[in-house]
Structure 1
Amino acid sequence: MTTNLVDTLNPEYIKKFTCIGAACEDTCCSGWRVNVDEETYRKYKKVKNFDMKLRLEKDITRNRSNPTKNNVAKMRMEKGKCSFLSKEGWCDIQTKLGEDYLCNTCAVYPRRINKVNNIIEQSLTVSCPEAARLVLLNEIGINFVLGQEVVSIREYSSIINTSKGKITHWKECIDEYRYLTILILQNRDYTLEERLLILGLLYNELELCVKNNRLNEIPDILGQYLKSVEDYTFKGAFNNVSNQLDIQLQLCRELVILRLKEGITSSRYLECSRDMMLGLKIEVNTTNEEVKEAYEYSYAEYYAPFMQEHEYMLENFLVNYVFKNCMPIDCDAPFESYTRMILHYSLIKLHLVGIANHYNGLTSDLVIKLVQSLSKTFEHNPTYFEKTMGLFKENNLMNLTYMSMLVKN
């Protein structure tokens, strides 16, 4: 752990976060594997408290197959929850030994800490209910603060260093990519749908530059998009984008079924998934036309009116996603990163439209429950997303035309 005065760039919400423990609707360790890092494991071996020493020996198992510095052991899980979780919803290790005895996994979550060009960035992942509220419920949007702070750092989620000279690799423009992407996402002169379509055009151009080794053109492209967004060049430019809802629904249905086959331990997501499928009438014998009809009705009657007043919730989700994931350098290619973001957005929208039909309307609480549980189920499952991206690639769906269909209602 390091404690220094460092340059920081953080969303304003980060200082407001505190774990609400037993009052939380979900538990951090529910359904997940809790890895124990080497330094913490050594601490556990030196614990003097007799009762806790016995529990630590009994409920922590060494990883003898492929141990790493961050994964030398794991906590024993009972009925999907960590064996050290008390009936009241608090961690017995923290309560009886202190916060310093938490493993890195538990000490850091739900924070994500990146080091980008020597600037420390902290954000929250919305798979935590309290974090989801802080991120999503800010009506004026997410503001970022650049400053200097004394911070305690256990481990970094990622460390990124780029050169500031001649561009030799497309990822070297991380600061410029994120600045422009977030600026576009927060420009409320456009609908959220329009903002995502603008980003599709941008990332498609960036992809072409990378494929054709025209890296020197990237700064000019970013500058042109910044100017075009600010002078409203894109206003009304997407009115003729086709909306093939049947294709979108079919793909989303396959994605949901694929994830359900993977096995889900989150009861909150299972509730949301059930409500979505009931609302859209997704059953074995239901035709795509019947699902499409239910979707169109719910979208017009419930989803669109709610989002007209609460679109900032999805805007905040996307801005937070871009910042914490260091988009687009989280992938091997710019458009692949955009595709992943659109996939998250499309799944959220699909679920919310179905849930809205089931409950005859939406509330902020329903949105938070869905985004939190879906993030915990989908975003934290790398294996699933590898299969999902493989599905896109195999069917030649990772292109601007198809992404535009997913964005359109």
Structure 2
Amino acid sequence: MQIHKTLKPIFVTRFQCVGPDCLISCCRGWSINIDKKTHQKYILSPHAEIAAIARENLILQRKGKSHYSSVKLNEKGECPFIDENKLCMVHRDLGEEALSHTCSTYPRSSTRFQDETRHTMTLSCPEVVRRVLFDPEAMLIQEEEALVAGYRTNLIGQRQSVSQTQQVIHLFAWNLIKSPARNIEENIMALAQFILCLQHVNFDLHNTFADVENFYEALLNDLQNGKSLMQSDNPARSNAMKYLALSVMGTCVAKDSVRDRFILEGHREIADFLNVAELSHPAELDAKFDRIHQQWQTLCEGSCLSEPHVLRNYLLYKLYSSYFPGKNTENILRQFYRIVLDFFYLKNILSVKSMQNDIDEQVVMKTIASFSEKTMHNKSIDARMDFAIDKINGGDDLSCLLLIG
């Protein structure tokens, strides 16, 4: 027997699907795989309408039991099982137990390790975004322990237990992001400095733990006392990198619109605002980015983003869902770069968007859900993002610090 932990953030336990009131439906624009058992259930359903829809719209794939067929979307890009009230006929007439694995589990997911199971939900669902960002308790972690037989922990697909070093780094990173500070960018910069400290000691916490802990506590003290950790880099270099990052994100992310065009529209608003083709002097680009920065400050002080937990919860979610820093600490800066780049892109989209219209919770929910659909549900996205970062960083992942301010 051994102890197995189950971890669930509060937002997971409080989530409820809002069905037809969802801002971006998961029943639109996506390829839906149907397992063999569910396929037969629909085809042979006693409900004539469901059976007829299934026979016409379930396209055989035969790529294994879990991908036996796929749903052909209608001319509106919607699942044909959706009725005029935007409700699922299968759920309505056959019950939740009749849903396919894909439909019954989304937006939920879990990762099982030998000694623990971590539950989460994907931010591509707008209601998950609402639960994560706008509930002060969302990222409180509930933990349960149970004694299980040793053989039950040896399951196909499970991951090896994370190392003690990874767990300690994760806890340090968590507390640095969670700490009160002048603004959330200070928390991000504190994490960057802590990563550099870890690299300096080659992640050898066994022999250098006291020094690392002292450095971590000094960072916490600076954050809590309102001391700024931001570095005054060359603005021109910083803005040139910001423009390159925005351009690359447009190519890698914004153009891949499946369910919606919200991020694509946001990216076009940035492009229209910067209007680089019409600029005659580099100082004009600097002035544009200054305006974006000022607008971001305004948002953080007087909008739905102003509560301290909102942006902090977003970053805590990122740490939790990736179990930052992951097993390969050699890639820790690249993992950090991904977090910074995502935050930077969303920050710029919301800032520019707010210059024309008020930013409310629904706009934030749709922006993050649309962005997350592009970055969390694409098998090639990791390779594409690595390629994008290599194009941005000039061979130095630490250059992501230029995107923070």
C-alpha distance in structure 2 between counterparts of 1:141 and 1:56, whole Å: 39
AA aligned opposite 1:58: E
Spell out the pairing of 1:287-306 with structure 2 (5 A cutoff).
290-300=284-294, 302-306=295-299
Q: 2:240 aligns with which of 229, 234, 246?
A: 246
Aligned length: 384
Seen in structure 2, the aligned counterparts of structure 1 residues 69 and 241 have a Cα distance that, compared at 3 Å, is farther
C-alpha offsets along residues 268-294 of structure 1, whole Å, 9 cap, x if unaligned? 33443344444x244654566545423
Q: CA offsets, 1:78-106, max 9 Å, x none? A: 23222212221111121122111212211
Aligned: 1:161 with 2:154: no
Aligned to 2:7: 9
Q: TM-score, normalised by structure 2?
A: 0.82
Counterpart of 1:388 in structure 2 is 385
**Is contact 2:179-2:223 (8 Å) kept?**
no
User: In the alignment, which of 55, 63, 70 is matched to residue 74 of structure 1?
Assistant: 70
Q: Judging changes above 3 Å, is the alpha-carbon distance between structure 1 residues 382 and 342 closer, same or farther for their aligned structure 2 residues?
A: farther
| Deviation of 1:55 (Å) | 2.2
Distance 1:393 1:108 in 2: 35
Alpha carbons of structure 1 residues 24 and 334: separation in structure 2 relative to 1, 3 Å = same
In 1, distance between residues paired with 2:40 and 2:61? 14
Moved more, 120-129 or 393-402: 393-402
**Equivalent residues in 2 for 1:2-401 (5 A)?**
7-41=5-39, 43-44=41-42, 47-64=45-62, 67-78=63-74, 79-139=76-136, 142-147=139-144, 159-162=158-161, 173-189=165-181, 191-206=183-198, 223-232=213-222, 235-243=227-235, 244-278=238-272, 280-282=273-275, 285=278, 290-300=284-294, 302-308=295-301, 309-329=306-326, 333-359=331-357, 362-394=359-391, 396-397=393-394, 399-401=396-398
Task: For 1:87 and 1:376, locate their aligned partners in 2 and report how far apart those are by CA, in whole Å.
Answer: 25
Aligned to 1:121, the other structure's residue is in SS state strand
The amino acid of 1:320's aligned partner reads Y
User: TM-score scaled to structure 1, two decimals?
Assistant: 0.81
Q: Is the contact between residue 241 and residue 392 of structure 2 (CA under 8 Å) also seen in structure 1? A: no
SS at match of 1:358: coil
Tell me, in whole angstroms, the C-alpha distance in 2 between the residues paired with 1:281 and 1:189. Answer: 30
Contact 1:328 1:337 in 2 (8 A): yes
Deviation at 1:395?
A: 5.4
What 5-or-longer segments of structure 2 have no aligned partner? 147-154
Query: CA distance change for structure 1 residues 400 and 214 in 2, over 3 Å: closer, same or farther?
Result: same
Q: 1:371 to 1:173 in 2, by over 3 A?
A: same
- Post-superposition offset of 1:17: 1.1
SS at match of 2:120: strand
Flag the 1:31–1:45 CA change in 2: closer, same or farther, 3 A: closer
Q: Could you tell me how far apart the structure 2 residues matched to 1:118 and 1:41 are?
A: 35
Cα deviation for residue 178 of structure 1 reads 2.5
Instruction: Describe the SS at the equivalent of 1:134.
Output: helix
Contact 1:35–1:105 (Cα < 8 Å) also in 2? yes
Taking only the aligned residue pairs, the percentage that are identical comes to: 18
Unmatched tracts of structure 1, length 5 or more:
150-155, 164-170
Q: Distance in 2 between matches of 1:72 and 1:204?
A: 48
**For the Cα contact (< 8 Å) 2:266–2:349, is it kept in 1?**
yes
The CA distance in 2 between the partners of 1:208 and 1:39, in whole Å, is 54
User: How far apart in 1 are the matches of 2:203 and 2:298?
Assistant: 45
How much has 1:132 moved relative to structure 2? 0.9
Contact 2:170 2:324 in 1 (8 A): yes
